[in-house]
């Protein structure tokens, strides 16, 4: 009985010490926990990174892709999306629990929209999944406002000089979703096929949707 009590107390003390050593910042705490678990052989960092990448670029943005595809094939839904993004996205049960208001902004041949969060990394998680690392970086957050055309060029997107670039600054209350242009040559595609073309980057505004 005494031995059991001693072991229990020791485990509690050890558990407390681990948490006491963790930094207060949530991101740093996650890193610290990942390091501890890696040292104990309980997790594989490469597997974690691979899972995050899949969720960031493939699984996470699928909700947003479905919203975009529906807007492309359903003019009435597109109008509702541009008028009240949160309500229209809520129709598809993709709004999530963050409580933020989502505004959809449409790309056209004359206007290209780019989303950034200059103060932190506010992001419509319910439709785009996890934000990519570059979206949270200081260089992107500053240069997207100062030199958006140069930033887009670095992403491989060169826009004609006549195309106006609008930069939208997300906040905790209002977050933005870019409705990209529907690519030519997709007239015979159905909604599911169109959704498969839509990328996370196109819904942030650093890329365009390709028919291939």
- List, by residue number, the catalytic residues: 117, 120-122
CA 21, 32, 100, 150 dihedral sign is: positive
Give the SS3 label for residue 7: helix
63: CB partners within 8 A, 6+ apart: 92, 94, 126, 127, 128, 129
Assign residue 185 a region (left: φ > 0; alpha: ψ between -120 and 50; beta: otherwise): left
Largest CA distance in the chain: 81
If 0-12 CB within 10 Å is exposed, 13-18 middle and 19+ buried, where does residue 84 land?
middle
């Amino acid at each position: 009985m005494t031995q059991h009590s001693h072991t229990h107390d020791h485990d509690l003390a050890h558990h407390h010490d681990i948490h006491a050593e963790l930094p207060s910042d949530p991101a740093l705490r996650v890193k610290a926990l990942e390091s501890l678990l890696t040292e104990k052989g309980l997790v594989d960092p490469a597997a974690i990174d691979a899972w995050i990448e899949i969720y960031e670029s493939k699984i996470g943005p699928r909700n947003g892709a479905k919203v975009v595809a529906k807007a492309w094939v359903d003019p009435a839904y597109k109008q509702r999306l541009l008028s009240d993004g949160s309500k229209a996205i809520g129709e598809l049960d993709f709004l999530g629990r963050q409580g933020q208001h989502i505004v959809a902004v449409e790309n056209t041949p004359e206007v290209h929209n780019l989303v950034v969060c200059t103060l932190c990394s506010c992001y419509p998680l319910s439709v785009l999944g996890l934000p990519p690392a570059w979206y949270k970086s200081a260089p992107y957050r500053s240069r997207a406002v100062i030199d958006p055309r140069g930033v887009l060029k670095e992403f491989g997107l060169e826009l004609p000089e006549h195309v106006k670039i609008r930069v939208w600054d997300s906040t905790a209350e209002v977050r933005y979703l870019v409705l990209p242009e529907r690519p030519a040559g997709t007239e015979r595609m159905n909604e599911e096929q169109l959704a498969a073309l839509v990328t996370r980057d196109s819904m942030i505004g650093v890329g365009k949707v390709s028919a291939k």
